[in-house]
Amino acid sequence: MCRWAAYLGAPIFIEDLVTKPGHSLIVQSRAAEECKTSINADGFGIAWYHARPEPGLYRDVFPAWSDPNLKALCAQVRSHAFIAHVRASTGTAISRNNCH
């Protein structure tokens, strides 16, 4: 089952929800405590709004916890609206198109 984090409000750094907290989306993607599968390793995606009308996008087919660029990006990008997704495949192909 996939996991999501979404935010809408005053601008914050994306790391405040996605990478830093003890129960962040990245921590849950590697060791979830309450779900059918404890691992979400079949890709990830993140989208955010800032100064332009179209969202910034970053996604890949690898596990979110193994991507140093994701951690660096989350530490630098501040947004008032973002969504992040870690994927656990249910049998469909692992491809960038499936990493929302």
Task: List residues with catalytic annotation.
Answer: 2
Question: Rounded to whole angstroms, how far apart are CA atoms 52 and 26?
Answer: 27
CB atoms within 10 A of CB 100: 16
- Any idea which residue has 């830093």 for tokens? 20
Cα distances (Å, whole numbers) of residue 5 to 2, 11, 87, 90: 10, 15, 12, 20
Q: Residue 78 corresponds to which tokens in the numbers above?
A: 């501040």
